Structures are given as structure tokens and as C-alpha cells.
Structure 1
Amino acid sequence: MGAPMAGVGAGHLAAAVSEAGGLGMVGVPAAASAQWVTEQAVVAGAGGRPYGVGLMAWALRDNAAPFEAVLAARPDLVSVSYGPYAGYVESLRQAGSTVVTQVGTTDEARAAEQAGVDVVVARGSEAGGHGRNDVATLPLLQSVLEAVRIPVLAAGGIATARGLAAVLAAGADGAWVGTAFMGCVETTISSEARRRLLAAGETDTSYGRVFDIAQRLAWPPEYGGRALRNAFFDRWAGREEELASDDDACATLDDARREGDFDTACIYAGQAVGMVRRQRTAADVVADFAGAKRLLSRFTM
């Protein structure tokens, strides 16, 4: 499954992943309009394949329009994560969507099951974008599988057939993959951002709240972001309180985002970024993941 990556994965990427045999997701930005969600849902579902939409619960408190648009679109799967998501579960299920939430601890997984979600994503700290930095994928997955009865997907650091085979062998029902798709032609990222991603190594990411604070985004503080390390992050890491009141730094980041200056602007990516080495199509990435079947067959009698 393709993870919902706001600002990276819209309707075209979701459609391409689904057409290739996975399940593609549209990542909804915090300030997205209902019209944008509706348009991207049409693109994602145009081929008649199942697709999903990912929402950020904290953002829905101030902008409920995307949620209403998702209810109307009735995608096959909806992810609502990071913030007070429980109040959205029943409406989505009544609309016919499978409901997923991402969790970063075993306690969060138990709470999600009690809230009535259909599937949990055990998202380890290796993952790109936002989430907890408390537990790595493999120990988290093992613990969550022991703790809940609902299906579990694994996320964080899964970029090849080997990673998919590993989590399936552990008992996961599937993998929730973001970074592996970031080099794809169907994403919305710029050519310069893609160039930097393809050149990055496995140790080139950092985790923290620097970019959220500088953008004045209301992410819950427990959910920082993993992105490619750059000069702006290095300058402000450890000085977040000062950054929160520095309007010049905020303006600098805004300018950099518009100008495509990624020494300052952020590119969210996980620790698997070192395995994303060339531009490909989503179909290429999905086809490579199919190699997990061969790896798993080595252990069948």
C-alpha cells in the first residue's frame, strides 16, 4: 500500500499504485479545500481500482471541508491519524470506507482497536514524514501484533521486496510504503527535490519539529517529522523555542519553499531513502515488491 504523502502523493500517484496492483493513497494537505479532495479522488478512482485517502486529524479541527469531501467520495479506504481521530470513525464506516489509523506505540494500537478502526498501521521511527520517534518498526510490529486482533500493516523502512517479505513473515497483513514511491514520476515533487532524494543516503535524514515550528503548523508535539537533513534544520535543531518567535526565520522558510531552495525548505523522507536511487514509475516499484513472494517461498515445505 502506498502511504498518503501530503504534498507528494495526489490522485495520479494513487491511481498508478492501484493500477499496478497495490493500493494507492491520496495524501490530503492540512489546508486542502473540499474541491481539491474531490478532484483528486476522481483522478485516483478513474481506472476503477480501489484507492484510499489520508487525513490528518489535527487539521480537521480547523478545516472540516476535506472530511466532508471524503465522505461524499466514498474511497475504499480512509486513514485518519495524528490527533483526535475517533470521532470520525463511525461516519466513515457508515459511508462504506475501511478505516485505518497510524500508531507509533502499542498503547496507541490498543486505543485504535477500541475506537473501532478496521486496520492499524504500526509505524516505526524509521518512517519519513510525521509520526512518533519512540519505537522502531520491527519491535513495534511484534508488540502490536500481540496486542490487537484487527489487521496490522507495517510502516517504516520498507523499500524493497526484502522489507516486505520481512514484515509479512512476522505476521503483518501488508506494508504501508512511502519513501520508496518518492522517486516516482507520478509524484508532485519538483525535479530539484527529486534530484536531492535520489542522491541522499541512509544517514541523511533527521527527526524533529524544526520545520513544523517554522511553518507555524499545529502538529501535536509528540508527532515530529523525519526529513532530509539540511542547513536550516541544523541551524535550528535544539533552538525550537527561539525559532517559535523568530518571524524572519519563518519568512525565510516560506521563501525557500516557493523558490525550491532545499538547503532551507524541507523534503520529508525516511531512512530507506538510500535505496531510492533512480527515477522510476509506480508500476516499477510495485513490481519490485512482488519479489517478496519468491523470498517467502524459500521457507515453505
Structure 2
Amino acid sequence: MTESPSTKTRPHGKLRRRMAGILALGVALLAVGGAYAAFAPEPQTANAQPDAALIAKGQELYNNTCITCHGSNLQGVTNRGPSLIGVGDAAVYFQVSSGRMPMARQEAQAERKNPLPEFDPAKPEGQANLEALGAYIQANGGGPQTPAVTGAALRGDDPGRGGQLFRLNCASCHNFTGVGGALSSGKYAPALAPASEEQIYTAMLSGPQNMPRFSDQQLTPQEKQDIIAYVKSVSDGGNNVGGYAAGGIGPTSEGILVFIVGMAGLIGFAMWLGAKS
């Protein structure tokens, strides 16, 4: 018994109808998406525009104090100063407010000194000039920005956790209590006691010299603030749990002193016995 021609073509007809339906659905979805993209209102976004007057003032300050070493376009000058592209106003605040910049001469370590009077953060005018210079560098080079809060507001609520984070990330260079230490090639990790909360925070963001940068993915803002709380608790002298602090050289300071004095006494006694013999 043979099949009729209509019976043979029926499966192919069903397949065609299914494919046509899928194609029509796809065209309809594309049309709806295109119409939405064309006619939907754009979301309202608040984009903070840089202050043109502040940037202009920053450019004037830059041309007066920085352009010789860092170039007219922040590109840096060979054997004078590095590029400032990407350092952000965080690096500007740390380096200039701590007097490390401008440097008197090229050397292994930029030493902390009194800042230029026009950039002294203790004075309102100096703080305003720091903000202007940082705004100019930020607008033209980008990079990490200074925190929104200042002073004691940058101290976290958990100095205990800050101590743990400090020992994991900072103590290998700055010592357990932030008194600093020697590094290679004439460099050193400076003592943290003279640094303000803003300087410690911006140093973690910008990574000056041998110091690594700690982004907000590596150390969250709250963790940075807890570290600051710990550093200030030990540098202010309020975190000695008992005994002789020995200048804050670390948690085993008394043991080290006893060992040194004891060994010196034993050696002296042995030499005295030898002399008597």
C-alpha cells in the first residue's frame, strides 16, 4: 500500500510552520527592544563636574612649584621627577603636606620635613592650596582620591582588628608599633607617629616609594580606618599594656633588653674570672 503525496509532505510542513513561528517571535523581540532603546528616557545621573576655578588655581600652583621636575603635561622630566599621570590627588596630599615634595635634590629617600608655608595643612590657606593642586592633578592625570572625611573621623572603631591588619601588611617594614625601619639601597620605612590620619590614609592609597598601594579591594576603607586607629593608639602612647615600653620597638622589647643586659653581664663576669686566673 503506497502513501499519498500529502502524507509524505506533512512532517515537512510542520517543521516549516515551527521555524516560521520562531523567526516571527525573534523579529518581534528585536523590534520591541529597538523601540525601547530608541524611545525610553535616559536615566538621570548626577555627574560631579570639576570646579574650573579650583583647577585653574591648582594649575597656577603647579606651574610655580612643580613644573620644573614633573613637566608641563605631568609627563615627568628625566633625572628630575617622575610622571604624575595616575597618581591622583591622594599622592599629592601625602607628598606635599608632609614636606617630601618638592625635593631639594635627588636621593634614595624623600625625607619628611616642614611643608612649604603655602601648603601647610595646619593653615586654612595651605589646606585650600593642597585641595587646588590635587584637583588639577586629578583632573589631568586621574588616580586615587583623598577620603571625604578628615582627622579623627578617619580613625576606625576597631583598633584591635587594625592591629591584626597592620601586622599582616605593614609591620615587616614599619615595625610592630610603627617606629619604622631600614630597607635596602639607602631607603627606610619612616616612623608613623608624625603622620596625620589623612597622610596615613593617602599613603596606603598611593604607595609612596617602596610602599605598595592598597586599593579598596585589598583593604576596604573601613579596614584602612581601623589600621589608622591602631597606629594612633600606639603612637600616642596610650596602648602600653604594662611594663617598660622601651621606645615602642615591639612586643618583645622587655625580653630583648633583659637578654642584652644579661648577656653583657655574663660576658663581663667571664672576663673578670679570666683576669683573676
Calculate the TM-score normalised by the size of structure 2: 0.23
Q: Which structure is higher in helix share?
A: 2
Max radius of gyration: which structure? 2
TM-score, structure 1 length as denominator? Answer: 0.22
